[in-house]
Structure formats: C-alpha cells, structure tokens
Structure 1
Amino acid sequence: MVRILISDGLDDDAIDLLKQKNYEVVCEHYEPEILLEKIKDFNCLVVRSATKVRKPLIDKSLESKNLKLIIRGGVGVDNIDVEYAENNGIAVRNTPSASSISVAELTLCHMLALSRFLHISNVTMRDNKWEKKKYEGTELFGKTLGLIGFGRIAREVAKRAYCLGMNIIYYDILGKAEGYDEYEFCSFDDVLKKSDYVSLHIPYDEKSGTVIGKRELSLMKNTAFLINCARGGVVDESALLDALNNNVIAGAGLDVFEEEPSKNEALINHPQVSVTPHIGASTVEAQKRIGFEIVDIIDSFFN
C-alpha cells in the first residue's frame, strides 16, 4: 500500500478521497528533526510552504528508497531542492493552476486597500478616529499596472485589472507573450519606471537572491505602490522599509515575507503597508482545487 505523508494540511474531501482509493494517509506536521526519521517510511510527501524539503531530508529518504514523489500544493517549489531530488530518482510535482485566481484576487485586494486607505482607516476607525479628510485616495481606473513575471497568476491579475480600466504593462524573462496584444511588453526597468502599481509574480531563487532592492525601488514613481503576493525573498525588506520612510514609493502590499511568520514589526506595522499572513491561496475554492489536483497527481503517478 502506498503511504502518503501530508505535512502541511490538505482539504478534507481530498483526504477522504485518497483513503477511499486505499492509500494510507498520515496527516501530521513533524518538526524537522523528527521528519528526518519519519520520511523513510513514506512513498509520497505532500507539502505546502511550511515544510522545507532540503538535501538532508532527501538524503534520509534515500536510506530506505521508499520516497518516490514529492508534491508541493501550490505554485512555487522553492522550498524543495527539486534538482537534487529528481537526480536521485524522486519526482517533484506542484499544482500551478489551482490557486491562480485566489492569488490574483488578493493582489487586487492589496491594490484597492492601499489606494483607498482601507488598511489603515480600518484601524483608526476602531480607535474612534474619524479622519475623513486624511484619506483622500486614488482610483485604479486609468492607472498603469506593471507586472514583473507574466505566468498564470500575473495573467489572471491582468485580466481583472484590464476590466477595471487599467493599462497593463509587463516584463517576463521569457520575453513577449503571444496572444496578449492588449498589454504592452516592456523592459524590466521600464516597468518599474512607468507603473503606478508594480506587482511581482516571480519565484525566489537563492542563487540570484532579491529582485527588488534599493536600485529598483529608486526607479519607481514616488506615488507608486509595490505589491508582493509571490515570494518574500524577492524583495529586500530593509531597502523597502527605507524607501517607505523616505517617500521613495507611496506604499506596499505584502502577503509574503523574508521570514515567516514575519518578525519585521517595523515593516508590518508601517502605516503605508497593507499586510496579510501568506493567505494568497487561502480560499475554500482554491483549497479544494489544490486537494483534488493532488489526488489526480498521486493517482497518475502510482497507477
């Protein structure tokens, strides 16, 4: 019988379906040192963001050679040493489409919150402050949204922002995308310079490190907002905080952080920052899609 360890949770209906299909399912988040021993007993490991699947864990799994498949429930696989796993005969899969709409909608939520001061007026109102004159916002209509990375999620964001009357420009390392002539392909620097909102849709690469630092922030308009619902490591938080404090940019919407849970209190409590605790894929609909896509991946792989 195929033994599956679900380390970071999964939709209940998907778990029930796996059991109905006669897989042995263990839903347990083990601390790293315990997981090193437990991993040898499983054929499949399902993770989200919390569990890191690095070389030492993969090496431990090779002692029994039971582990055949690692699945990341979500888009990125930067918490998995993919190349090392696959070089050692362990397949790695993810669910790139399941949460695209949810993350795209959260991106727009941050854009709207910052534009209309929802993130801070919601707090001051609870402190019995009526600061109506202080919160004169801006409309999304007619503004330019710049997308760094133009994959599945970015395209869902673009589709929705375009319907709100925004101008869409984008940069992608792969170049101009076919079939999206209503949007303008630009250089990386031009996206930063021209945009009223810059939204990041790129993976984190430990080798290249941060993508948005002091230089990149200095290219942005001082009225612009930076949105990051992708990966925390792509933004230099120290440089971002300096940019906010010195009015280099107007604000930031952040769902992801260099360290999670974030201990950067100066950033998360900044009045020009809208924050959420990595909830991009945290919708009922996305969790069900992720769950059933994982079931399909497991079925296809082991059958």
Structure 2
Amino acid sequence: MKNNRKKIVVSEFMDASVVEALRRHFDVHAQASLADAPDQLRAQLADAHALIVRNRTQVTAALLDGAPALSVIGRLGVGLDNIALDACRKRGVRVFPATGANAAAVAEYVIATTLMLLRGAYGASADVARGRWPRTALSNGREAAGSTMAVIGFGGIGRLVAQLARGIGMRVVGYDPQIAADADCWHETGARGMAFDDALRAADVVTLHVPLVESTHNLIGAAQLALLKPHAVLINTARGGVIDESALGEALVQGRLGGAALDVFADEPLKAGSPLEGVPNLILTPHIAGLTMQSNERVSTLVAERVTEALLADEHESTTTRSL
C-alpha cells in the first residue's frame, strides 16, 4: 500500500514531545546530527516535503536543488542567515521562523549577563574555595540601577530587553535605523531613540539585537569600540559577524573596555587560536542565549504548527486541483 504521508526532516535538536506530535500526521526523520552530515542530509531530502533546522544547518541553493518536493522550511529560531532566502523564493519554498518564541530567554540572558559583568564578582569561586579572600579586589563592582543601556536593534527582543532593564532601574537608549524617532515603541518602553554613535557614547552597557546582513557586518569594530566608555560592557546575542572579534579582543586585553559577553561567533564553534582565547573580562557561551526548557518547547511548538498548517494547505490544494 502506497504511503501518502508527507515527509518532514528535522536536522537539529527539536523538543521530543513536539516531534512525536508531528509523527501523528507525517513521516518524520529527526536526527540532530544531520547538520554535520551533509551527504546524509541530502539523501533524506530527496523525497522530503519539509525541513526543520536551527542555525547550524546550511540551507544552500545546491541543497534545495536536491530536494524537488520540498515546499516548507521551519527555522527553530529567528535568524535566517543560514538559509538561502533568494533560492527559496525562486523555488516557492516558504520559510517559517519562530519569531518571538525565544524572546524571553534571550532578554533574561542579557539582563543576567549585564549584572554579572557590571558587578565583576562571579569569577572568584576557585580562589574563595582555596581559602583566598579577594574581598578588596571585588569591592568596586557597579550597580545596574542608574546605569545606561544602549539597545542596538529595537525589534521584539530589543524592546523586551529595554523593558526588563527599565524594571531594574536602568536608563535605556536605543538605535534602530528602521524605526522612526517618534515611533510609539520608544515611549512604550521608556527608551530614548538616538543616533548610533551617540548611543554608544552614552552607554554603560551595549547589547546587540540586529540581523547579520551586509550593513551590519562588523557593525562594532575598532572605531565603534573607541567610542565606548572605558568601563562599558558589550553583550552580543545576535550574530557573530556583527562584531570584529579581533578588535574586541584587543580592546579587552588593553583595558580599553570593561568587559564583554558573547553568545555568538563568526565561526561556531571557535577555532583554535581564536582572537578571543585567553582574553580577560570576557564571558563566552555556546549560542545558547535563546535556549531554555521553556523556550525550546515554545519554539518547537510554534514551528511545528506553522509547518503543519503549510503542508496541510498544500495537501488540500493538491486534492482540490485533482478533483477539478
């Protein structure tokens, strides 16, 4: 008997309960290692109707060429720089990101990291456990309340970060070239829109929330770092390519910046000899700002719903066409 169920390929981690829910309606091949096995991925896509990815799977035009039945891509996240969008448009492949589903996780990461960087007291556990007592050295941390945060990129995540920052007593300025100076979002979040350079100069904390496109590549380089206060801290949960990592490493080594936290990198994972290796006052995490138990479920559920709706719509359209 011919199997008429549509096939979905999941090439990276997806909440297991949501994968099982998809299996009620579709044939699902879920294998998180496919992102690192391009030959296996191509083989699975030969007869697939949908592909669900995170950020590591590179959905190129060549990959799409080998997937003639593919009509839907679900992105377990919001950044789309790993997907060849022009090629998708030409082939009529719809792309569904999980817009908004991990905003709370990212915003909380930014606030938690802000507090850690400003206070500077959380790297001494080993010393304290060994009986040392660096109390004097750690007594000059800074409070977030009364400090100024510059939110660069004022979309959904940037606005939520601004609201949380205001909730702990921070002043918030922001920059977004896509948003008018008199837009309601500035007033609603209690933030003040500013020019890019002015926002950097005003900031005690800078947090980045921009996509990686040509205009944002190395958005923060040596010239921009020079505008920051010497005690300022920088947080990037957006995309690695928006910061010049060599310039950042040099600024931290030379003491021209108070600290930084990076969750995203130009190369993931970092290669040996990275300009960030051994740099002081630097927190590095492996692209997990948007990943929590709750956000994983929200993101997976949202993408599954959108992919399901699209595939069922395709099936309905095909049935209608055949009946005409």
**Fold shared by both chains (TM-score > 0.5):** yes
| Counterpart among 37, 46, 60 of residue 43 in structure 2 | 37
Q: Tell me the CA shift for residue 52 of structure 1.
A: 1.1
Matched, 1:120 2:126: no
How far 1:127 sits from its partner (Å)?
Answer: 5.5
Structure 1 residue corresponding to 2:305, chosen from 272, 285, 296: 296
1:268/1:275 contact within 8 Å kept: no
Answering whether residue 218 of structure 2 is matched by residue 210 of structure 1, we say yes
Question: How much does 1:265 deviate?
Answer: 5.3
Q: Which runs of 5+ in 2 are unaligned?
A: 313-324
Tell me the residue number matched to 2:238.
230
Greater CA drift, 136-145 or 172-181: 172-181
CA displacement at 1:269 relative to structure 2: 3.7
Give the counterpart of 1:79 among 75, 82, 87. 82
Q: Aligned to 2:286, which of 277, 287, 293?
A: 277
TM-score, normalised via structure 2 length:
0.88
Q: Compute the displacement of 1:208 (Å).
A: 5.3
Note the C-alpha offset of 1:209: 2.2
* TM-score (structure 1 length as normaliser): 0.94
- Structure showing greater radius of gyration is 2
Measure the CA separation in 2 of the matches of 1:207 and 1:158.
23
Secondary structure class of the residue paired with 1:227:
strand
Give distance in 2, aligned partners of 1:279 and 1:94. 17
Could you give the per-residue CA deviations for residues 123-145 of structure 1, whole angstroms, max 9, x where no partner exists? 54455542111112000000000
Distance in 2 (CA, whole Å) between partners of 1:6 and 1:125 is 45
Structure 1 position 267, deviation (Å):
1.8
**Alignment of structure 1 residues 239-278 onto 2, 5 Å:** 239-263=247-271, 267-278=276-287
Distance change >3 Å, CA 41–CA 127, structure 1 → 2 = farther
Partner of residue 315, structure 2 = none
Native 8 Å contact 1:86 1:92 kept in 2: no
CA-to-aligned-CA distance 1:237-284 (integer Å, 9 cap, x gap): 001011111222111011111111123555254231122111112111
For residues 103 and 25 of structure 1, do their structure 2 counterparts lie closer, same or farther at Cα, with a shift above 3 Å needed?
same
Go from structure 1 to structure 2 and tell me whether the alpha carbon gap of 1:131 and 1:4 turns closer, same or farther (over 3 Å shift): same
Letter in 1 for 2:258: A
Q: Determine if contact 2:72/2:311 at 8 Å carries over to the other structure.
A: no
Please list every run of 5 or more consecutive structure 1 residues that lacks an aligned counterpart in the other structure.
none
How many residues align? The count is 299
- 1:86-101 equivalence runs, <5 A: 86-101=89-104
Q: Deviations over 1:199-221 (max 9, x none)?
A: 00001125752211111111111
2:8 & 2:122 partners in 1: Cα distance?
Answer: 41
Rounded to whole Å, the distance in 2 between the matches of 1:33 and 1:44 is: 17
- Identical residues among aligned pairs (%): 33
Distance 1:194 1:54, change over 3 A: same
1:5 Cα deviation (Å)? 0.6
